[in-house]
Amino acid sequence: MTKTIRKIGVMTSGGDSPGMNAAIRAVFKTCSAYQITCMGIHRGYKGMIENDIFEMQPKDVKQIIHLGGTILLSERCKEFREFEGRKKAYENLKSHDIEALVVIGGDGTFTGAKIFEEEFGMPTIGLPGTIDNDIFGTDNTIGYDTAMNTVIEAVDKIRDTATSHQRLFFVEVMGRDAGFIALNTGIASGAIEILIPEKRYDMEEFYKNIATGAERGKISHIVIVAEGEKSTNIYDLAKHTQERFPTYEIRISILGHMQRGGSPTCSDRVLASRLGVAAIDGLLEGKSSVMAGIKANNVLYTPFEEAIKKHNELDAHLIKTAQILA
């Protein structure tokens, strides 16, 4: 350790993801181990501007490692986009003698943190908390594994009723700009088709695959659709498919925000815990304006600029696997 820090603030921002509480717990416990005061900031940048800041105690992180959501709450903040809002946030942090920050969130969170540090010199380390898994600099983001397991559990139940009634189900999963959840859960659930934002589709080929399945005696189908799929939307897709296959019973199931909730998996709890420790270690080593991540099971730090501008890319072999197995 090369730097002396007496107070560190921690907050969550943007969309919540399972495992954020485990990360908060790890940050607090690491601060305690190093005799650093940990200050909690409610409602992200909004709470920073409104001075909703408090000194965390052991009771605040008691029995939270298994909880979804975030005990620090999360809220989007337009005021933080303006210099005056950021100035007020900085003044509030200084009034509490906070010397560094740990921010847990995604691209938007890191963008705000980068600008804030450039303007006011507040050392900051980010932790990737998002179910989409699209942040560059880490193999997995906090909450991604749990979200996938939530989808699989739901799709398995949908398949039961799809088979019983010989139906075709279109299941929409989260992934506005990234198809990680759709691709992996589509493979794991045995979907006949997987539609993702990263790939343009020949819809005639899509219909041909469904027809081929019917010819082979398949009495039910599951199609996984990422919400950001650009070829069409799930309602038009279902409508056009019904027109092509009038004898099919077609249903739509949109899983929505249930994917963000629930108790985090073991994998997400361990990831969040490791990254929480890494954030404090990084600050004490003089690192700032970086995101802590894990690649090939090793902790590494990626500059915010790279984490924001670059994005994880889907594995080409995984896409090939999905095409073969479908």
Q: Three-class SS string for 263-317?
A: CCCHHHHHHHHHHHHHHHHHHHCCCCCEEEEEECCEEEEEEHHHHHHCECCCCHH
- Residue 14: name the closest of 124, 101, 127, 121 by CA: 127
DSSP element (H, E) containing 100: strand 100-105
| SS3 label, residue 53 | strand
The token duo for 245 is 């296959």
What's the chain's length in residues? 326
Choosing from 132, 134, 145, 268, which is the catalytic residue?
132
The token duo for 119 is 């303007």
- Residue 23: name the closest of 326, 303, 273 by CA: 273
CB 127 within 8 A of CB 23: yes
Q: How far apart are CA 144 and CA 183, in angstroms?
A: 13
Q: Is 160 a catalytic residue?
A: no
Share in percent of the chain as helix, strand, coil (round to 5):
45, 20, 35
Q: How far apart are CA 170 and CA 163, in angstroms?
A: 14
| SS3 label, residue 40 | strand
Q: Which residues are catalytic?
A: 132
